[in-house]
């Protein structure tokens, strides 16, 4: 195998513009004995450019810090609406005195300091994956620095991606035994994946619970001011807001994003001013509760009841995970600036002021936040609180869409429709099926519980489980990615697990009082993910063990024993090497096939993004007369497959580039036909249009190519024209490829390029398997239940592979095949 590398992109826009002006020339790398490529020298930045970066970075980080308020901190900043109410419930309501309130505030202060400030801001934000954060980023880092991945189709060429090697590559001696143990035992890697998926399921649970508790807690202020309103009328208002919130998701957050940051900033300023007023007006002695002495005193007085109340205290840090999960939209520095200098002080002062008010107004604990607002500013604060709650809900809903997309990339979630809501902001997506499911469950929770304390029990359990899992994954990153000593990682794990374990245990105690909702939702989503992942892996293993022998294909000759008609056949398969069994099934049942065949494999790799320059791997399966190629299209777990209608053209240009490149490579002079399959080249889709010898020109739909025989009948062509007229949004970009005169070009290369162009003009057909997966008769009843009922149900009710891959229906050929796994 050989690869072609391109110069890495520089961080500066000036450098990018300079490279574009110079033509964006490529540089090649020769492959080593194991298929790895030799590194190329990356140009160093100039001193003048380096001198400008600090000032530019500062202004950029300040701008991003401002923008992060509306996306990252909406959930965390609205917690004061319901924290104290959730703490002093149950048996702890008998301990409502000044010392208990001082102790509760001290617990909140130190919880905010140790987990969001210390763990996330100072430590976790440094564990990014090429700028991306979240549990999937940690898992991706681990999979690349150790063989933990369970993703199929992984190749040595994937390790040459520019985003693959991130962090130190040397292995610390103390971590070697642990690494060998985890790599050797597949069950341990499976457990690791299950832990990551559990965290993902809890985040999805947050997407259900957050809108319910945020909107319900903010709207409850109406009942405080207007005693005439009944609880049913308040719930009706909540439902109207929730339905409107989910109904507007298809518009995309970018259309209202300019409102988000100002709303949260105004909210933070308001609660800061309110907290400062309450401290000065009601009880300035609350400042002394910053001492941890009050925590010890709190537990001495309350005992077991105080420990159970930790389930309410942890609500003060719900939404903290967004600081790490949304890292990809901002920078670590901008998030640190926003939290350390704005969010953290505002929250501390607000909780301090609310505690000062409650210490002198004990009966107001159930309505602590709204009762602490002076009457003259009550309604403005109510409006701001409601807007802030909507912003908080929007942030977690968007995060849920992203999590589902990442689970789908890992092969752990059924195919869903992903809609781009912004042409300019990458990563803003909308998933209709998930949106309406979330809305139905959220409405059911709001109507069913009608109480923020009960919903808060479920909310706290979900959030603390995610934090607990993140701490575990981070300790593994410290060992395998940062290459630190095992003792350092163990100290980190034990310190935060002791703190988070206390909160998690208190949240588990409240499972009967609403916490069961989080467990039920996580079990349902985990079951869906497990069934889909299990069925997908079994289907892939069937393809691997039933691949068509290359000798059989070569024995058929260049004609494959059938008629080769003009046109290109794109055969989709999950196999990165070998010929899928669906091909032999097709050949043996049809008398003709296309003159040019391309086996296409669309796969995910454990990196967040794959640059366009490295997306396509192109190779040849059989000798040149067969005209059979392979194209592997690689996407990261946060990449989006855009339907820009240009895939066919990029594929043809990439194959043409490969054909010319192949002619000058000495590796392909070998007469060993069996060695063809597996030798691939990285073709840059960004430079292929400028460096390719093919001349590309736009073509009108009415422009027919008379000189090329078409494999499509006139009836089919008229159907295609009618289809394009009815679906203008699906219209493909029509281009014409021409081969200019080049006296120095090899005759065989020119002939192959002409065949490729003629095949493209004749038409492109997409060939996929319409598979039915069934368990063998000898399988256990549990396996039959999972495959025949669970997996089959999910396959029938999710998006088809052709829809997920944006394949035009008019050009699709499906081949039925039964998989007995």
| pLDDT, tens only, 552-564 | 878 777 777 778 8
What residues form DSSP beta bridges with 737? 696
Looking at residue 788, the DSSP 8-state letter turns out to be I
d(CA 685, CA 26): 12
Residue 717 has pLDDT above 80, yes or no: no
Query: What pLDDT score does 72 carry?
Result: 86
| Per-residue pLDDT band at 685 (split at 50, 70, 90) | low
Mean pLDDT over 472-489 rounds to 90
Structural domain count of the chain = 2
Q: Which residue has the higher pLDDT, 231 or 719?
A: 231
In whole angstroms, give the CA distance from residue 284 to residue 288.
9
Task: Give the whole-angstrom CA distance, residue 719 versus residue 723.
Answer: 6
Q: What is the per-residue pLDDT for 750?
A: 86
Which of 384, 414, 441 terminates a domain? The answer is 441
174 within domain boundaries: no
Residue 455 belongs to some domain of the structure: no
The answer on pLDDT for 44 being more than 50 is no
pLDDT above 80 for 414? yes
Selection from 258-267, 283-292, 532-541 with the highest mean pLDDT: 283-292
pLDDT at 53: 45
What one-character DSSP code corresponds to residue 450?
Answer: -
Q: Are 219 and 237 in contact (CB under 8 A)?
A: yes
Whether residue 548 is predicted with pLDDT greater than 80 in this model: the reply is: yes
Please answer whether residues 87 and 298 qualify as being in contact, where contact means their C-beta atoms are separated by less than 8 angstroms: no
> How does pLDDT run across 586-600, given as a tens digit for each residue?
777 777 888 899 999
Lowest mean pLDDT across 345-349, 616-620, 806-810: 806-810
Q: What does the pLDDT read at residue 701?
A: 46
SS3 of residue 415 by DSSP? coil
pLDDT tens-digit profile of 214-228?
888 888 877 776 666
Residue with structure tokens 């849920």?
A: 400
803 and 756 Cβ atoms separated by less than 8 Å: no
Other CB atoms closer than 10 Å to residue 720's CB: what's the count?
17
DSSP string, 333-368: HHHHHHIIIIIHHHHHHHHHHHHHHHHH-GGGGGGH
3-state SS string for 710-755 = CCCCHHHHHHHHHHHHHCHHHCCCCEEEECCCCCCCCHHHHHHHHH
pLDDT score of 688 more than 60: no
Radius of gyration of the chain (CA): 30
Mean pLDDT, residues 475-486: 89
pLDDT of residue 23: 38
The number of beta carbons lying within 10 Å of the beta carbon of residue 718 is 11
Min mean pLDDT across 233-242, 284-293, 306-315, 660-669 is at 660-669
β-partners of residue 597 are 569, 628
760 pLDDT higher than 60:
yes
Residue 167's pLDDT is 59
Report whether pLDDT(350) > 90.
yes
Kind of pairing, strands 695-698 and 735-738? antiparallel
- Residue 462 in domain: no
Q: Rounded CA gap, 98 and 103, in Å?
A: 9
At 172, the pLDDT band (50, 70, 90 cuts) reads low
Residue 239 CA to residue 799 CA, distance in Å, equals 29
Q: Parallel, antiparallel, or unpaired for β 429-430 and 419-420?
A: antiparallel
Residue 262 domain-assigned?
A: yes
Higher-pLDDT residue of 28, 158: 158
Distance CA 92, CA 105 (A): 15
The first and second tokens of residue 748, run together, are 């065989």
Query: Rounded distance, CA 214 to CA 76, Å?
Result: 10
Answer left, alpha or beta for residue 790, where phi above 0 means left and psi between -120 and 50 means alpha: alpha
Give me the percent of the chain exceeding a pLDDT of 70. Answer: 80
Q: Report residue 687's pLDDT band, with 50, 70 and 90 as the boundaries.
A: low
Q: Are 437 and 579 found together in one domain?
A: no
User: What stretch of H or E contains 696?
Assistant: strand 695-698
- Residue 592 forms part of a structural domain: yes
pLDDT at 433 over 60: yes
pLDDT digits (tens, 9 = 90+) for 149-167: 777 667 777 777 877 776 5
Angle between helices 378-409 and 47-71 (to 10 degrees): 110
pLDDT: is 714 or 566 the higher one?
A: 566
pLDDT at residue 264 greater than cutoff 50: yes
Q: How confident is the model at residue 636 (pLDDT cuts 50, 70, 90)?
A: confident
Which of 50-64, 288-302, 473-487 has the lowest average pLDDT? 50-64
Q: Dig out the tokens for 433 from the structure.
A: 């099926």
Closest Cα to residue 234, out of 424, 452, 392? 452
561 shares a domain with 426: no
Q: How far apart are the first and last CA of the chain?
A: 32
Reference 421, options 261, 255, 258, 640; nearest CA is 255
Q: Give the model's confidence band at 268: pLDDT under 50 very low, under 70 low, under 90 confident, else very high.
A: very high
Structure tokens at 597: 């065949």
State residue 692's pLDDT score: 55
- Residue 270 falls within a domain, yes or no? yes
DSSP assignment, residue 268? Answer: H
| pLDDT of 524 over the 80 cut | yes
pLDDT computed for residue 50 by the predictor = 41
C-alpha count within 13 angstroms, C-beta hemisphere, residue 358 = 29
Q: How far apart are CA 609 and CA 615, in angstroms?
A: 10
Pick the last residue of a domain from 426, 441, 456.
441
What is the pLDDT averaged over residues 324-330? 82
Does 31 map to a domain?
A: no
**pLDDT grade for 503, boundaries at 50, 70 and 90:** very high
- Exposed/middle/buried for 415, CB within 10 Å: 0-12, 13-18, 19+? middle
Q: Is residue 637 scored above 50 in pLDDT?
A: yes
Looking at every residue in the chain, the average pLDDT score rounds to: 80
Q: Residues 651, 656, 660, CA angle at the centre, nearest 5°?
A: 145
**Is 266 contained in some domain?**
yes
Query: Is the CB of residue 210 less than 8 Å from the CB of residue 400?
Result: no
pLDDT at position 727 = 57
Query: Which pLDDT does position 326 carry in this prediction?
Result: 81
- For 480-638, strand residue ranges (E) read 563-572, 592-604, 616-620, 628-635
In 548-695, where does DSSP find H-type helix? 550-555, 581-587, 647-663, 688-691
Q: How confident is the model at residue 550 (pLDDT cuts 50, 70, 90)?
A: confident
Q: What is the largest CA-CA distance in the chain?
A: 95
- CB-based contacts of 36: which residues, under 8 Å, 6+ apart? 156, 159, 160
* Closest of 429, 803, 398, 799 to residue 640, by C-alpha: 429
Residue 813, strand partner residues: 767
pLDDT at 675 over 70: no
pLDDT-derived band at 693, boundaries 50, 70, 90: low
> Which residue from 479, 462, 561 is spatially nearest to 205, judged by alpha carbons?
462
Last-in-domain residue among 395, 411, 441: 441
Q: Which of 433-437, 706-710, 721-725 has the lowest mean pLDDT?
A: 706-710
pLDDT score recorded for residue 42: 38
pLDDT at residue 46 greater than cutoff 60? no
Maximum average pLDDT range among 88-92, 145-149, 514-518, 677-681: 514-518
User: Residue 699 has which token pair?
Assistant: 């073509």
Sign of CA dihedral 601, 602, 604, 605: positive
Q: Which domain holds residue 371?
A: 61-151+196-441
Q: Quick one: which of 92, 804, 115, 811 has its CA closest to 495?
A: 115
Nearest Cα residue to 398 out of 368, 425, 379: 425
Residue 527 confidence (pLDDT) above 80: yes
For residues 557 and 168, the model is more confident at 557
Sign of the torsion angle spanned by Cα atoms 410, 411, 413, 419: positive
Return the C-alpha torsion angle 238, 240, 246, 250, nearest 10.
Answer: -150
For residue 814, report the phi and psi dihedrals to the nearest 5 degrees: -110, 135
pTM above 0.85, yes or no: no
Q: What is the mean pLDDT of residues 183-197?
A: 85
Sign of the CA dihedral running 700, 597, 739, 18 = positive
What span, in angstroms and rounded, lies between the C-alpha atoms of 474 and 135?
Answer: 9
pLDDT at 12: 38
Mean pLDDT of 727-736: 56
Report the distance separating Cα 149 and Cα 156, nearest Å.
Answer: 13
C-alpha closest to that of 95 among 309, 351, 282, 350? 309
Contact 377, 73 (CB under 8 A): no
């Amino acid at each position: 195998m050989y690869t072609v590398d391109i110069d890495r992109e520089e961080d500066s826009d000036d450098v990018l513009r300079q490279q574009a002006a110079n033509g964006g020339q490529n540089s090649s790398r020769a492959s080593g004995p194991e298929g790895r490529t030799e590194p190329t020298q990356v140009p160093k930045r100039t001193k003048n450019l380096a001198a400008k970066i600090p000032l530019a970075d500062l202004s950029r980080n300040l701008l991003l810090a401002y923008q992060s308020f509306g996306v990252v901190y909406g959930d965390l900043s609205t917690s004061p609406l319901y924290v104290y109410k959730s703490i002093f419930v149950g048996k702890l309501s008998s301990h409502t005195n000044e010392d208990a309130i001082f102790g509760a505030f001290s617990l909140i202060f130190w919880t905010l300091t140790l987990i969001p400030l210390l763990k996330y801001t100072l430590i976790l934000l440094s564990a990014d994956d090429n700028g991306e954060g979240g549990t999937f980023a940690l898992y991706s880092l681990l999979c690349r620095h150790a063989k933990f991945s369970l993703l199929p189709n992984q190749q040595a060429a994937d390790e040459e991606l520019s985003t693959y090697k991130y962090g130190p590559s040397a292995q610390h001696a103390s971590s070697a035994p642990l690494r060998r143990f985890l790599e050797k035992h597949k069950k341990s890697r499976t457990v690791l994946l299950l832990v990551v998926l559990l965290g993902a399921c809890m985040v999805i649970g947050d997407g259900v619970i957050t809108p319910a508790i945020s909107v319900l807690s903010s709207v409850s202020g109406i009942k405080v001011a207007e005693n005439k309103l009944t609880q049913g009328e308040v719930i009706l208002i909540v439902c109207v807001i929730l339905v409107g919130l989910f109904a507007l998701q298809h518009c995309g957050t970018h259309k209202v994003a300019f409102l988000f940051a100002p709303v949260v900033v105004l909210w933070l300023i308001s609660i800061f001013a309110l907290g400062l007023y309450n401290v000065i007006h009601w009880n300035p002695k609350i400042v002394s509760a910053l001492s941890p002495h009050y925590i010890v005193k709190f537990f001495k007085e309350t005992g077991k009841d105080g420990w159970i109340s930790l389930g309410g205290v942890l609500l003060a840090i719900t939404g903290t995970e967004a600081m790490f999960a949304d890292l990809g939209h901002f920078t670590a520095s901008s998030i640190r600036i926003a939290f350390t200098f704005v969010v953290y002080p505002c929250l501390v002062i607000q909780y301090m002021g609310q505690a000062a008010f409650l210490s002198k107004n004990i009966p107001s604990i159930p309505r602590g936040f709204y009762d602490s607002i002076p009457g003259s500013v009550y309604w403005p604060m109510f409006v701001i609180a409601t807007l802030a709650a909507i912003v908080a809900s929007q942030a977690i809903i968007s995060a849920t869409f992203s999590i589902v997309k990442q689970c789908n990339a890992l092969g752990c979630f059924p195919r869903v429709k992903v809609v781009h809501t912004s042409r300019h902001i990458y990563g803003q997506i909308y998933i209709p099926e998930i949106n309406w499911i979330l809305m139905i469950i959220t409405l059911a929770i709001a109507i069913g519980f009608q109480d923020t304390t009960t919903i808060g029990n479920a909310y706290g359990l979900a959030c603390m489980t995610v934090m607990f899992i993140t701490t575990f994954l981070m300790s593994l990153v410290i060992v395998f990615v940062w290459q630190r000593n095992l003792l350092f990682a163990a100290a980190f794990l034990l310190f935060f697990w002791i703190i988070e374990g206390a909160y998690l245990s208190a949240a588990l105690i409240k499972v009967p009082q609403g916490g069961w909702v989080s467990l039920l939702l996580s079990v349902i989503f985990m079951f869906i993910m497990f069934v889909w992942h299990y069925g997908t892996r079994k289907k892939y293993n069937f393809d691997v063990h039933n691949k068509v022998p290359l000798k059989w294909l070569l024995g058929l000759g260049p004609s494959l024993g059938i008629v080769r008609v003009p046109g290109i056949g794109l055969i989709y398969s999950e196999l990165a090497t070998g010929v899928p069994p669906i091909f032999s099934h097709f050949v043996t049942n049809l008398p003709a096939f296309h003159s040019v065949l391309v086996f296409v494999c669309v796969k995910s790799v454990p990196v967040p993004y794959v640059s366009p320059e490295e997306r396509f791997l192109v190779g040849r399966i059989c000798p040149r007369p067969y005209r059979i190629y392979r194209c592997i299209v690689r996407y990261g777990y946060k990449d989006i497959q855009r339907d820009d209608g240009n895939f066919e053209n990029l594929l043809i240009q990439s194959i043409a580039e490969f054909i010319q490149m192949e002619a000058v490579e000495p590796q392909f002079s070998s007469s060993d036909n069996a060695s063809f399959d597996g030798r691939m080249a990285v073709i840059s889709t960004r430079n292929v249009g400028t460096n390719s010898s093919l001349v590309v020109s736009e073509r009108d739909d009415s422009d027919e190519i008379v000189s090329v025989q078409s494999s499509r009948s006139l009836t089919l062509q008229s159907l295609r024209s009618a289809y394009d007229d009815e679906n203008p949004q699906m219209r493909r970009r029509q281009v014409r490829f021409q081969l200019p005169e080049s006296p120095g070009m090899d005759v065989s290369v020119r002939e192959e390029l002409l065949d490729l162009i003629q095949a493209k003009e004749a038409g492109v057909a997409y060939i996929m398997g319409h598979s039915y997966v069934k368990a063998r008769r000898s399988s256990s009843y549990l396996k039959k239940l999972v495959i025949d009922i669970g997996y089959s149900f999910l396959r029938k009710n999710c998006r088809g592979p052709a829809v997920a891959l944006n394949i035009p229906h008019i050009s699709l050929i499906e081949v039925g095949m039964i998989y007995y796994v």
